[in-house]
Amino acid sequence: MTEPFRQLVFCPQDPQWISTGREKQIDLETVLRSVGLIASQVDVSSEGRFAIGEQFLQHINFMGCAPAVEFTPGQDKKLNDTQYWHQFTFVLIPPERNQPACYIDETMAKPKCPACNKRTALSSGQNYFDDSKSRFSCPHCQHSSDLCELDWREFGGCARTMVSIVNVYPKEAIPTESLLLQLEKLTQIDWRYFYYYGHLVSDKA
């Protein structure tokens, strides 16, 4: 079993959005490089995994007294893959998916039902999902929603396109408003973010 990763994940507000379409051709990697969030790939074989860019710390605020954040990979080549990728903060741009994928922090998430606008804490121990875990049943009004229709705030998200900052702590790494505005301007779509503790968002949910 792979060790979970703490991630800060950006995604478009529209779960179906992808960077290429009939009327647009946006290279997300170029966008992120142009704002200085990413530099080059961590190494030649690590497709989609980038070192942080020179403006990274202008875009992501780190709270707390002394966050232990490493930005460069260790030199110890004897480390196995799992240990290596847990040592330092990097930016992951997974391939865009055919369908939106949903990632939820079930210990923190309180999704809001689109029918009655009431929130439900998933941590209550009750199961509100169907067997395939693609729908949520609201305990307040019994309305059944696709997971992508719920408002997850910063503890869940649903998207075909994601950008993940890997190995940062929830609420300790906070994106600036300016970064979200720049992403919006360069991609013509609103972006949001959430925190996720689990496998990398490039892996199967």
Pick between residue 31 and residue 113 the one whose CB is nearest to Zn ion: 113
Residue of 38, 164, 32, 191 lying closest to 103 (CA atoms):
164
* Helix count and strand count (H, E) for the chain: 4, 12
Residue whose CB is less far from Zn ion, 140 or 185: 140
State the CB neighbour count (10 A cutoff) for residue 179. Answer: 22
Stretch that binds Zn ion, among 58-66, 97-105, 132-140, 181-189 (CB under 5 A): 132-140
Comparing CB distances to Zn ion, the nearer of 102 and 113 is 113
Residue 149 C-beta: closest distance to Zn ion, Å: 11
- Cross-strand pairs, 9: 164, 194
d(CA 7, CA 30): 21
CB of residue 143 to Zn ion, shortest distance in Å: 5
For 63, 122, 168, 172, 188, the CA distances from 66, given in Å and listed in that order, are: 8, 31, 13, 10, 36
Residues 135-174 that bind Zn ion (CB under 5 A): 138, 140-141, 143
Which 33-92 positions form the footprint of Zn ion (CB under 5 A)?
none
Closer to Zn ion by CB, 119 or 199: give it.
119
Length of the chain (residues)? 205
Q: For Zn ion, which stretch binds (CB under 5 A), given 1-9, 18-26, 94-102, 105-113?
A: 105-113
Give the burial class of 91: count Cβ atoms within 10 A of its Cβ; 0-12 exposed, 13-18 middle, 19 or more buried.
buried
Size of the site for Zn ion (CB under 5 A): 7
Check residue 113 for interaction with Zn ion (CB under 5 A). yes
Chain positions contacting Zn ion, by CB under 5 A? 113, 115-116, 138, 140-141, 143
